[in-house]
């Protein structure tokens, strides 16, 4: 259960970073940012797999680059559900998806399957 909250915090941190460095993405309040993280998590859990499945030929044709457009669409869908969280324009959503994706990838690299921090030891 703790892993869900840690991953939610990672997504919220990614959204906050996107609001800071990507023009066109704005969260008016902290609760709006947290609700956007919850909405994005639920959208990525339930809607995104269906969209990826239906657009699989296009994704294969573009060698996976269409997944970036799908991620941007999921960010826009979170904007549609949450008042106080705004994404304006296609390029803002693309760059926001890149920032949130990189932040989530980096944060999840240190989190195990059960939500605990992993320590990597290099042995010589």
Comparing 2 with 34, the larger pLDDT belongs to: 34
Q: What is the pLDDT of residue 10?
A: 93
| pLDDT bucket at 4, cuts 50 / 70 / 90 | confident
Helix H segments across the chain?
2-21, 30-46, 48-54, 56-61, 66-81, 90-108
pTM: 0.87
DSSP 49-79: HHHHHHTHHHHHHTTTTHHHHHHHHHHHHHH
Report the mean per-residue pLDDT for the chain: 92
Mean pLDDT, residues 66-82 taken together = 97
DSSP summary character for residue 117: B
For residue 116, what are its two tokens?
A: 């605990």
Comparing 81 with 117, the larger pLDDT belongs to: 81
């Amino acid at each position: 259960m703790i892993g869900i909250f840690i991953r939610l915090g990672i997504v919220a941190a990614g959204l906050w970073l996107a609001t800071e460095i990507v023009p066109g993405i704005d969260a008016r309040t902290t609760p709006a940012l947290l609700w956007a993280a919850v909405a994005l998590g639920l959208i990525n859990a339930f809607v995104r797999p269906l969209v990826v499945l239906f657009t699989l030929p296009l994704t294969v044709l573009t060698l996976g680059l269409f997944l970036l457009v799908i991620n941007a669409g999921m960010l826009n869908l979170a904007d549609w559900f949450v008042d106080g969280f705004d994404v304006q324009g296609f390029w803002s959503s693309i760059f926001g998806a890149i920032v949130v994706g990189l932040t989530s990838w980096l944060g999840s690299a240190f989190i195990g399957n059960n939500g605990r921090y992993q320590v990597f030891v290099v042995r010589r």
